[in-house]
Structure 1
């Protein structure tokens, strides 16, 4: 298998890991195994009555729930396989020297840090800032693998050609980069909303029910460390702070939508970027529809998982648009 094919396969697996992580988290199975990297001290989930009794004795604070435990362990098994593939990709990139070693080395370091975040998610009992960071780590890993794949399969245009077009699309480059930052910030807000179990506190559109503005509490809503709690499962914040997080996420969605609509408009002015404009428009439309469905349908599991995948797709779509703008000869 060529390196390009290996990276493409690893990309698909990264999407599966993100989906499994979202499904595990949204099924309240993030602590399905109270230890790490095993499950109740075993490589496999305890199955027999005797093993379950021993596990319950060793971890009296959390009785074995086989379904949740298996969700957690399947996610770990697949994520571990992803890590091994990334190690192999890094080795091959270093050996073949087809591109700079910086990006594959960064990806290898990132997957190690992501594993640490997975461990801290369990050992710190779903501390929201760690859960959010773990989500961002997964998205960053997917984006980095995508960038590696593009560099291997679609190398940048010759440097001289870039210089010829650099002045004319300088403003577009800066705006595309800013749009990517806005999308990442919105993903952070989404992760913070999910990790604080604030997705269902507002059940009406467009903002929230009642006089929501009278209950805003930004200090508690964005207290990143939330110290003094032994367990953060199902959240520790009161209604006001959770509602604040949700409302900020909705306003963030509005700002993100406006930024991306402007990016789509700017890209459409260039004939060579219309495919990217269509890509961003399609993913944005789908993500908005999924976000509305989450509210109207009261967060059904499959919609919530799809919304996570939609966020990851939006990051990749905007990143790809940046890649095309910054590395290709853009023509009117």
Structure 2
């Protein structure tokens, strides 16, 4: 069997990994703040863009709704500047980094620019559901991309290639299976976003309108949750290096389903539960994207190394 030497990320790569991880946390928080802004109907609390009431800090107009919209923009600006720094550093240090990092960082910077433009359109066009949905979709894609980039940076380097699995073994199919599950979960999140931006759940519960979106979201939740749980169970049993991510995925999808059921039983009357449901969706996307990256990049698999 080929000998493999693992070394943890050091120096510039470790610094960039720390930056990427912090930006990922800030981005997930940004999705949660965006959810709170929508639930509290604060999307137009600042009537202009990029300023708020013509100033950087609207002190006189400040209330909960204005604060949510203002802080949402502030967090987005910080994340955007951080991604700009990450893209610049990953390009400058590209010889010391995995080949994928500069490309992932550059794509993340492009997406955050698109995200900023969509954010401006949500205000100037008075919250059209298509733009609001695209805004949320871009945010979740950013979460997935940055999570994958972080995982690539954190992956230990190797001095030799790991043993190759047989052509038709599960070792070759496994990354694709994890990727399919991640795409299914992302699709379910996007369906939930479409439902939320049209206020379909609230309209269905109050007047019986828009129930088709709610039914579709609930119908899709069961097979997607089952797919995540089955894949997580298989990962916990077979792949030692992926057990933490598999466990996190299982816990996240269970929490997500529980929050969804709770929000409906409370008839969306508790904003904290509804916001937590969206926040957990972003966390689940981040975990699955990291898991997919690990399944592609993990240099030593328990079963292969025994072979």
* TM-score, normalised by the number of residues in structure 1: 0.78
8 A Cα contact 1:279 1:317, kept in partner: yes
SS at match of 2:175: helix
Cα deviation digits, residues 211-268 of structure 1 (max 9, x gap):
xxxxxxxxxxxxxxxxxxxxxxxxxxx844x111111010011121122123123324
Q: Does 1:277 align with 2:274?
A: no
Structure with the higher helix share, 1 or 2: 2
8 A Cα contact 2:155 2:297, kept in partner: no
Number of the residue aligned with 1:123: 124
| Distance of 2:289 and 2:35 partners within structure 1 | 22
Deviation at 1:193, TM superposition (A): 0.9
Residue pairs, 1:1-332, within 5 angstroms: 2-45=15-58, 47=60, 66-97=63-94, 98-100=97-99, 101-155=102-156, 160-161=161-162, 163-164=164-165, 167-168=168-169, 169-203=171-205, 239-240=208-209, 242-272=210-240, 273-299=242-268, 300-328=270-298, 329-332=300-303
Stretches of structure 2 lacking an aligned partner (at least 5 in a row): 1-11
Aligned residue pairs: how many? Answer: 282
| Distance of 1:248 and 1:321 partners within structure 2 | 27
Deviation at 1:190, TM superposition (A): 0.7
| Distance of 1:166 and 1:89 partners within structure 2 | 37
SS at match of 2:56: coil
| Distance of 2:290 and 2:178 partners within structure 1 | 10
Stretches of structure 1 lacking an aligned partner (at least 5 in a row): 48-63, 204-208, 210-237
Greater shift in the superposed pair: 250-259 or 7-16: 7-16
CA RMSD of aligned residues (A): 2.4
* TM-score, normalised by the number of residues in structure 2: 0.84
| Distance of 2:16 and 2:139 partners within structure 1 | 21
8 A Cα contact 1:157 1:327, kept in partner: no
| Distance of 1:173 and 1:99 partners within structure 2 | 19
Deviation at 1:9, TM superposition (A): 2.2
Greater shift in the superposed pair: 173-182 or 159-168: 159-168
Cα deviation digits, residues 93-149 of structure 1 (max 9, x gap):
111112332111101111101101101111221111211111121122222222221
